[in-house]
Amino acid sequence: MESELKDLAPKPSEPQPESDESPLLKPDPVSPQPQISISSQSIEEMEIKYAPFVRHDVYGTMGRGELPCTQKLLLGLGLVFLLPIRVVGGTAILFFYYVICRVCTAFLAPSGEAEQEDYAHTGGWRRAVILQSGRYLSRLVLFLFGFYWISETTKGNEVDGQLNSEANEPAYEGQSEEVERPGAIVSNHVSYVDILYHMSASFPSFVAKRSVAKLPFIGLISKCLGCVYVQRESKSSDFKGVSGVVNERMREAYQNKLAPKIMLFPEGTTTNGDYLLPFKTGAFLAKAPVLPVVLRYPYQRFSPAWDSISGVRHVILLLCQFVNHIEVTRLPIYHPSEQEKADPKLYAENVRRLMAHEGNLILSDIGLAEKRVYHAALNGNISMPTVLHQKDD
């Protein structure tokens, strides 16, 4: 069983992709594990060890807890009245924005290399229409999904939140635009809803799997966003890797006000929203300033955090909730010191601690490897004593 657990954990010499082929919540179909019953005592131990990924809403662990009658009634009403409207409405908005992107990119060749083509560097009216319509429609989707109000707080330098339609650049009051332009926006990662919020706020580029570019509708939209595609399976010598591409885009955004901004989630995975995981250093290698943003999702019944629940179940329960909430805290642009520029780990850790302090988040020292172990244990395919004594990677 120990050898099986080693296969599950990432190896330093052979990094594993986060979730390219199989969902985190499903057992490996190639090497099925015996189903192990989990005692209440074992669950309590797991919830202490893997606290950043534990759900605390009324639906319980993995969203499969026993609901009281009142909650069952509310869920039933949501399934009958809310879910169909929100699914149809969301699909219609997606298709409408796809048509806008198709019209705005007609007769245009994408910029960038073959592995990283995009339409985000398009200028003029085309870029303005793609950007503004993308922001407004993203906010409309959030409203449709129950996020009627978004509480936004800006600390330090005042940001007016309005983007220049041509430059795709926020205006910062009282300070030089050249000094205050960030190379990237960095945010904690709680849910896929994070992406919709950031699209509505600033319409930045994201890091996505290469396969996203080939998806119907989504593929073209991701190119209009200017997504940086990760092609983990590529072994060619001319492939720069995601860090190299991200660093180039960060330097470009910092030096050129016409360049699209880039949005990064340095934790590398989602949490339950109460914790902040260790940051990967890829977002800090460019030595450019970053704009930290902290997202929180207050809730009473269902938590929008995508932590230890399957994707389909999470979407259904989210769309069945009558009202959802987002709280956003924008911090001042963080300019690295010379010492931080020379040490990306120090830079990343200092930004992380600042975000945790200002966002009232708890610092954790575990990450994606432990999240996979926790999910596997919840599914009963790893023996509990081995899981509970798993070493940090």
Question: How many whole angstroms separate alpha carbon 167 and alpha carbon 163?
Answer: 8
User: Which position has the token pair 């926006």?
Assistant: 185
pLDDT at position 371 over 70: yes
Question: How many whole angstroms separate alpha carbon 231 and alpha carbon 271?
Answer: 24
pLDDT tens, position by position, 199-245: 999 999 999 988 999 999 999 999 999 999 886 555 444 445 677 88
pLDDT at position 5 over 60: no
User: Is beta strand 362-363 parallel, antiparallel or unpaired with respect to 275-276?
Assistant: parallel
pLDDT at position 287 over 60: yes
Q: What is the structure's pLDDT at 232?
A: 54
* pTM for the predicted model, two decimal places: 0.81
Question: Higher model confidence: residue 355 or residue 14?
Answer: 355
Sheet containing 290-296: order of strands: 150-154, 326-330, 290-296, 184-187, 263-264
As a residue count, the chain comes to 393
Question: How many whole angstroms separate alpha carbon 393 and alpha carbon 386?
Answer: 15
pLDDT tens, position by position, 291-310: 999 999 999 999 999 999 99
Question: Higher model confidence: residue 253 or residue 170?
Answer: 253
Q: What is the structure's pLDDT at 117?
A: 87
Q: What are phi and psi of 84, to 5 degrees?
A: -60, -45
Q: What is the CA radius of gyration of the chain?
A: 21
Q: What are phi and psi of 354, to 5 degrees?
A: -65, -45
Residue 39 binned pLDDT confidence (cut-offs 50, 70, 90): low
